[in-house]
């Protein structure tokens, strides 16, 4: 969802040659192929095929498999997006090869180091050369951490680019008819964060809240593969649960899920991206966490932090139904973030290319100097990671 608009903007700008690299981190059929199809993203040129494993194993495998790609193609820079293990792995690989790192969605902070994503965000930003920020809190966080202002740009939110570009197509989805739902008369839930899923009492409390809400309206719960394993162990299978209208489904494609969110009465989630999307859609969002790295969705959007206790979730649901929150789009969440990102890349990498040609300096860990001439960019993208090569 974050890669597609950047690649489209590169194509519009010209002067870029793209190499798409899939890390394989999201290996589930519904979370990989369907998203490529729905977003019009071409098949990957390289698939690292790293599927599953612990945080350490996954990160190490991506690094080992991504390094030869960088060495073969001699990057001018590696662009990584978001905060997953692939993001950190590709950034570390590039930094150790002396390749400039560009981070999209830089500066976001939950201030909760128990979240693996927070570690990924902090470390990636610390080794990035160009930090592209989606909301003003990111500027504040990076300034407080001592990042040089000239390395930081506020560009907006590429997730919003994707949403606005595909909204009309999503509106044509028949997902509501297939699930026999009426607009504004159902809820949507997603749960996948390790802190919620891997702790059985927490997942049980969330599940109990969803089951109680489903006594009032149908609750559609597309289940992440990680969550599926935990729910199966707890005895919760697909379908309707214990007479309540809680519907555990397979993961949905992007267009179907966007339509489902847009027409929902309320969305319950622990996903950062969904907090952003519901803010643009104007749909009440209850975030099943105690913190968020996207505070603008709370201060300006339709998001509310409700935690993971059953009663707190149910109470917040009732309040959201009785008095839905009103929000407005944050600054630069206008569908043009990718164009601003590409403009930053053109400026930054052309300056670097001129400097390299003038000085004769090349990447210290790479085997040969790129040929001179007008900078030409090749893009290598994982599910969450891009490498810009010349």
Cα–Cα distances in Å, from 69 out to 102, 369, 376? Answer: 17, 16, 17
Selected catalytic residue, list 26, 192, 224, 236:
192
Closest CA to 90 of 389, 386, 388, 390: 386
Query: CA-to-CA distance for 322 and 317, rounded, in angstroms?
Result: 9
Classified as helix, coil or strand, 131 is strand
Residue 267 parent element (H or E) = strand 266-269
159: phi then psi, degrees, rounded to nearest 5: -60, -35
Residue 171 near residue 259, CB atoms below 8 Å: yes
**DSSP class per residue in 199-264:** SHHHHHHHHHHHHHHTTTS-EEEEPPHHHHHHHHHHT--SEE-TTS-EEEE----HHHHHHHHHT-
| Count of other CB atoms within 10 angstroms of residue 344 | 16
CB neighbour burial string for 313-334, b if at least 16 within 10 angstroms, e if fewer: bbebbeebbeeebebebbebbe
Residue 55 annotated as catalytic = no
- List % helix, strand, coil for the chain (3-state, nearest 5): 45, 15, 40
Burial of 360 (0-12, 13-18, 19+ CB in 10 A): exposed
- Helix ranges (H only) for 241-336 are 254-262, 272-281, 296-299, 310-322
What radius of gyration, in Å, describes the C-alpha atoms of the chain? 21
Residue 292 near residue 298, CB atoms below 8 Å: yes
Cα–Cα distances in Å, from 244 out to 25, 207, 215, 257, 353? Answer: 34, 12, 6, 22, 61
Q: Which residues have a catalytic role annotated?
A: 192
């Amino acid at each position: 969802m974050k890669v597609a608009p950047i690649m489209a903007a590169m194509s519009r700008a010209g002067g870029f040659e793209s190499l798409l690299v899939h890390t394989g981190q999201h290996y589930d059929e519904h979370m990989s192929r369907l998203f490529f199809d729905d977003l019009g993203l071409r098949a990957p040129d390289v698939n690292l095929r790293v599927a599953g494993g612990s945080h350490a194993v996954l990160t190490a495998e991506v690094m080992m498999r991504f390094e030869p790609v960088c060495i073969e193609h001699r990057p001018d820079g590696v662009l990584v997006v978001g905060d997953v293990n692939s993001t950190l792995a590709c950034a570390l690989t590039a930094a150790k090869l002396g390749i400039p790192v560009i981070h999209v969605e830089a500066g976001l902070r939950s201030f909760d180091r128990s979240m693996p994503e927070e570690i990924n965000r902090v470390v990636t930003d610390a080794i990035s050369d160009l930090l592209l920020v989606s909301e003003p809190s990111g500027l504040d966080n990076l300034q407080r951490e001592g990042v040089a202002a000239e390395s930081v740009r506020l560009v907006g939110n590429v997730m919003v680019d994707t949403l606005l570009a595909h909204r009309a197509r999503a509106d044509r989805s028949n997902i509501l008819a297939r699930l026999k739902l009426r607009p504004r008369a159902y809820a949507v839930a997603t749960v996948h964060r390790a802190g919620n899923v891997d702790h059985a009492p927490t997942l049980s409390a969330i599940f109990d809240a969803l089951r109680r809400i489903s006594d009032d309206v149908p609750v559609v719960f597309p289940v992440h593969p990680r969550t599926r394993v935990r729910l199966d162990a707890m005895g919760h299978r697909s379908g309707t649960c214990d007479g309540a209208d809680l519907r555990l489904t397979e993961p949905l494609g992007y267009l179907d899920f966007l339509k489902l969110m847009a027409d929902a009465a309320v969305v319950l989630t622990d996903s950062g991206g969904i907090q952003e999307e519901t803010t643009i859609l104007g749909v009440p969002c209850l975030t099943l966490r105690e913190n968020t790295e996207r505070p603008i969705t709370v201060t300006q959007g339709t998001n509310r932090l409700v935690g993971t206790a059953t009663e707190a979730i149910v109470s917040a649901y009732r309040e959201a139904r009785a008095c839905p929150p009103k929000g407005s789009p944050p600054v630069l969440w206008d569908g043009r973030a990718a164009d601003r990102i590409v403009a930053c890349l053109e400026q930054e990498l052309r300056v670097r290319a001129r400097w390299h040609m003038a000085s004769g300096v090349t990447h210290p860990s790479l085997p040969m100097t790129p040929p001179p001439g007008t900078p030409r960019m090749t893009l290598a993208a994982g599910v969450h990671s891009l490498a810009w090569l010349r």
